[in-house]
């Protein structure tokens, strides 16, 4: 499973990239607002920093303007993926951008039927939102599992990009369910490395090493 980092924060992206944990980046209008940066400038900067796909979201609500915005965003860098909302207009824009050879990420997916429509419109990625479903008491992971079955049943090449991930358990469940990608907030991604037995084991090794009085260097 690939890891995309779900942020527009350059410092976080750089740090995680140095650990080899960034296969791509996803942003959305809320994350751009949180960064306090100019959308176009920060998108170009992220695209130059990472070689993998970088999702940048349109803000228009009608297909013709989405197409115009999408083409502008795609021209910023070779690795831009145009993010479109899962609406009827978004599906039309997805069809149009796909015909232009532009990669798309159809976002705000909350049902398997929506995901089926996005695949039929040629989406490169579908973004099912796990955490926001869990917030409503609905099992978000079931959506990932259902999309996996449907896409495999019909040989759709649309990649399942699990989004709205809130915990390490979400990441593990996505991997078990066969998500192609998980887009993960930096704090959750950094937290995946932690285990109390790793910490305890390392502490014991260091204490014993100290007793030997030796040094490797
Ligand atoms: C990424 O593509 C999504 O926009 C993001 O994962 C949403 O996460 P949230 O539900 O925690 O805002």
User: What confidence score (pLDDT) does residue 142 get?
Assistant: 98
Atom of ligand 1 nearest to the CA of 105: 2
Cα(55)–Cα(105) distance, rounded to whole angstroms? 7
* CA nearest ligand 1 atom 5, residue: 164
Q: Is 127 in the pocket of ligand 1 (CB under 6 A)?
A: yes
Contact (Cβ atoms closer than 8 angstroms) between residue 46 and residue 27: yes
Q: Is 27 in the pocket of ligand 1 (CB under 6 A)?
A: no
User: What confidence score (pLDDT) does residue 132 get?
Assistant: 98
Cα(177)–Cα(175) distance, rounded to whole angstroms? 5
Catalytic residue among 83, 103, 194, 211: 83
Distance 164 CA to ligand 1 centre (A): 4
Distance 99 CA to ligand 1 centre (A): 27
Cα(168)–Cα(88) distance, rounded to whole angstroms? 33
Atom of ligand 1 nearest to the CA of 127: 2
User: What confidence score (pLDDT) does residue 54 get?
Assistant: 98
Cβ neighbours, 10 Å, residue 174:
28
User: What confidence score (pLDDT) does residue 36 get?
Assistant: 97
pLDDT digits over 117-149, tens only?
A: 999 999 999 999 999 999 999 999 999 999 999
Active site residue 83: yes
pLDDT digits over 160-175, tens only?
A: 999 999 999 999 999 9
Distance 150 CA to ligand 1 centre (A): 23
Distance 107 CA to ligand 1 centre (A): 9
* CA nearest ligand 1 atom 6, residue: 164
Cα(53)–Cα(26) distance, rounded to whole angstroms? 8
Q: What is the phi-psi region of residue 20: left when phi exceeds 0, alpha when psi lies from -120 to 50, beta otherwise?
A: left
Cα(21)–Cα(5) distance, rounded to whole angstroms? 8
Distance 196 CA to ligand 1 centre (A): 28
Mean pLDDT value across the chain: 98
User: What confidence score (pLDDT) does residue 166 get?
Assistant: 97
| Closest of 73, 127, 69, 63 to residue 96, by C-alpha | 63
Q: Is 129 in the pocket of ligand 1 (CB under 6 A)?
A: yes
Atom of ligand 1 nearest to the CA of 185: 6
In this prediction, the residues of the chain whose per-residue pLDDT falls under 70 are none
Query: In what helix (H) or strand (E) does residue 31 lie, and over which residues does it extend?
Result: helix 29-35
Q: Is 6 in the pocket of ligand 1 (CB under 6 A)?
A: yes
Q: For the whole model, what pTM was predicted?
A: 0.96
- Domains belonging to the chain, first-starting first, are 2-212 (3.20.20.70)
């Amino acid at each position: 499973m690939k890891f995309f980092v779900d942020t527009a924060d350059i410092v976080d992206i750089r740090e995680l990239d140095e650990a080899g944990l960034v296969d791509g980046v996803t942003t959305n209008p809320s994350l751009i607002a949180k960064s306090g940066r100019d959308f176009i400038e920060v998108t170009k900067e992220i695209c130059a920093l990472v070689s993998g796909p970088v999702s940048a979201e349109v803000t228009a609500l009608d297909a013709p303007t989405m197409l115009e915005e999408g083409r502008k965003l795609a021209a910023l860098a070779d690795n831009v993926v145009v993010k479109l909302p899962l609406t009827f207009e978004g599906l039309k824009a997805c069809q149009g951008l796909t015909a232009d050879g532009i990669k798309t990420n159809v976002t705000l997916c909350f049902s398997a039927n929506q995901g089926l429509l996005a695949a039929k419109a040629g989406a490169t990625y579908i973004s099912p939102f796990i955490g926001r479903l869990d917030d409503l008491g609905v099992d978000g992971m079931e959506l990932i599992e259902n999309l996996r079955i449907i896409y495999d049943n019909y040989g759709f090449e649309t990649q399942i990009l699990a989004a709205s991930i809130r915990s390490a358990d979400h990441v593990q469940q996505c991997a078990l369910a066969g998500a192609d990608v998980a887009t993960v907030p930096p704090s959750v991604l950094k937290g995946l490395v932690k285990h109390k037995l790793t910490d305890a084991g390392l502490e014991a090794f260091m204490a014993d090493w100290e007793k030997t009085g030796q040094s490797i260097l």
